[in-house]
């Protein structure tokens, strides 16, 4: 039989005490068997397995991935981040781990690019949105009619390991602002990364300075529970060691006769699991071996319930009416439904009136446009008629001019034909006279002389011309 976990015992005892208020205590005459219920719960939990989700928040180069590999003593395969994104990107990887007979579904969420921007004012916003998204997904699963929560993969973040740079002076404003925004949504455990970079005296002062700044700024970090007697002493002691100063390394070196995880430096060796060198063992003890179930419980009972309550209040759900009487879910639903229907009818009436008003305005605009079109049509029609009348007048005038021209043409042709007949005989007579005159002139100009002969007499010349 597996040993009963202390948190399971505590939860069961609280349940028995709460249910036993106002009930009589009766002695048993013999063994009944319900004392095996814790063992049954343990066996059932072991068979179903567990899930645990860790978020690592911190600036680039503080050894977040290395610490995760060291913490679970394995090598988580993952693509290296390029750090070329303009903002903070959250990368989630889930792994199935097995130790003895217990299975663990581990999810590690890393904040790629956190603190890489010049303007770091909004670096926390993607982290807050991611945490709210996991709460919302679980709430939506709870509100379903057919829920399968026993097989649902719970992606809510159970613990946030916030990595602080080992400056030795004070917290950066980015660290304070981010932790202040996250403390109501996740369990925060601050750790000083690469604590071997500063001396022991500086480390002690740095822890005191960090604790003082967290308290003065109202940042609520996770406190290990001290209500369970079995772990009250160790948790109380470990609360005084916060924040843990850790060193991570996956390299094994031979120290003495043993192989240990350590970091080799020119001046010496830092052993990861040596409590005199760093607080890695304390972190692993508190995080995994003692308080893992409490972290899961705190996530559900505190952070998720706060988100759920605020979300339902935003939706209008209440536990009591104005008379401080309890509201049932059905009554609340009916009240919200009636309120919603009333608002819907009111908006519908407003939209209908707005629609009617717009229709009337549109009709008025159309009537005005129609009136303008009619007036324009009348103007164009009148203009067309005037143009048509002008064209008809011009056509009539042109027709009169054509007729007059034809008459004049006919008269001219007639006169020309008569004149050509009368002038033809005169022209012939004139032509004959002109010909005769030319001939006579030609004859008079001719002189016929021959060597040793007498010139021709005029009558002979005339006879010659006639014969010719």
Q: How do residues 10-53 score in pLDDT, each as one tens digit?
A: 444 454 444 445 678 888 888 888 889 988 888 888 888 899 99
Distance CA 444, CA 441 (A): 5
Q: Tens digit of pLDDT for each residue in 127-183?
A: 999 999 999 999 999 888 888 887 888 999 999 999 999 988 889 999 999 999 999
Mean pLDDT, the chain, whole residue set: 84
Distance CA 267, CA 3 (A): 45
pLDDT tops 70 at residue 450: no
Are 72 and 93 in contact by the 8 Å Cβ rule? The answer is no
CATH superfamily of 44-315: P-loop containing nucleotide triphosphate hydrolases (3.40.50.300)
250-259, 293-302, 340-349: the lowest-pLDDT one: 250-259
Q: Which phi-psi region, left, alpha or beta, contains residue 63 (left: φ > 0; alpha: ψ -120 to 50)? A: left
Give the count of beta carbons closer than 10 Å to the beta carbon of residue 109: 21
Distances (CA, A) of 86 to 58, 116, 119, 329, 437: 17, 9, 11, 45, 123
- Residue 131 makes CB contacts below 8 A (sequence gap 6+) with 157, 182, 185, 186
Task: Report residue 115's pLDDT band, with 50, 70 and 90 as the boundaries.
Answer: confident
4-8, 234-238, 305-309: the lowest-pLDDT one: 4-8
Are 123 and 174 in contact by the 8 Å Cβ rule? The answer is yes
pLDDT of residue 17: 45
pLDDT of residue 458: 52
Burial of 221 from C-beta contacts in 10 A (0-12 / 13-18 / 19+): buried
- Specify the higher pLDDT residue, 318 or 62: 62
Q: Tens digit of pLDDT for each residue in 350-393?
A: 999 999 999 999 999 999 999 999 999 999 999 999 999 999 99
pLDDT tops 90 at residue 75: no
pLDDT mean over 271-275: 90
β-bridge partners, 96: 105
pLDDT of residue 439: 72
């Amino acid at each position: 039989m597996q040993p009963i976990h202390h948190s399971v015992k505590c939860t069961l005892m609280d349940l028995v005490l709460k249910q036993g208020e106002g009930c009589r205590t009766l002695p048993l005459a013999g063994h009944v068997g319900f004392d095996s219920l814790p063992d049954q719960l343990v066996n059932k939990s072991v068979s179903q397995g567990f899930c645990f989700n860790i978020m690592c928040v911190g600036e680039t180069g503080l050894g977040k991935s290395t610490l995760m590999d060291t913490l679970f003593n394995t090598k988580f395969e993952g693509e290296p981040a390029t750090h070329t994104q303009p903002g903070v990107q959250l990368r989630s990887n889930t792994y199935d781990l097995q130790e003895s007979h217990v299975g663990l579904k581990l999810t590690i969420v890393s904040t790629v690019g956190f603190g890489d921007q010049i303007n770091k004012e909004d670096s926390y916003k993607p982290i807050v949105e991611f945490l709210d998204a996991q709460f919302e997904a679980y709430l939506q699963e709870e509100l379903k009619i057919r829920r399968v929560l026993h097989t649902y993969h719970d992606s809510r973040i159970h613990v946030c390991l916030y990595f602080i740079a080992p400056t030795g002076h004070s917290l950066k404003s980015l660290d304070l602002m981010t932790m202040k925004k996250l403390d109501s949504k996740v369990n925060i455990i601050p750790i000083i990364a690469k604590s071997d970079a500063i001396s022991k005296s500086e480390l002690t002062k740095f822890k005191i300075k960090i604790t003082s700044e967290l308290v003065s700024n109202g940042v609520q970090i996770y406190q290990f529970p001290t209500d369970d007697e079995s772990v009250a002493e160790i948790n109380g002691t470990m609360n005084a060691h916060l924040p843990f100063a850790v060193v991570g390394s996956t390299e094994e070196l031979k120290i003495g006769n043993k192989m240990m995880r350590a970091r080799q430096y020119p001046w010496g060796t830092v052993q990861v699991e040596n409590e005199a060198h760093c607080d890695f063992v304390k972190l692993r003890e508190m995080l995994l071996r003692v308080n893992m179930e409490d972290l899961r419980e705190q996530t559900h009972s505190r952070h998720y319930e706060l988100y759920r309550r605020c979300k339902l209040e935003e939706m209008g759900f209440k536990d009591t009416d104005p008379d401080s009487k309890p509201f049932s879910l059905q009554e609340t639903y009916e009240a919200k439904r009636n309120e919603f229907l009333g608002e819907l009818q009111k908006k519908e009436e407003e939209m209908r009136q707005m629609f009617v008003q717009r229709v009337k305005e549109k009709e008025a605009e159309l009537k005005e446009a129609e009136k303008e079109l009619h007036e324009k049509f009348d103007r164009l029609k009148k203009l067309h008629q005037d143009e048509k009348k002008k064209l008809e007048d011009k056509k009539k005038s042109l027709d009169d001019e054509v007729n007059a021209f034809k008459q004049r043409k006919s008269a001219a042709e007639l006169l020309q034909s008569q004149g050509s007949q009368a002038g033809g005989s005169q022209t012939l007579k004139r032509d004959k006279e002109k010909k005769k005159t030319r001939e006579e002139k030609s004859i008079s100009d001719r002189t016929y002389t021959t060597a040793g002969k007498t010139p021709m007499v005029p009558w002979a010349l005339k006879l010659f011309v006639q014969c010719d």
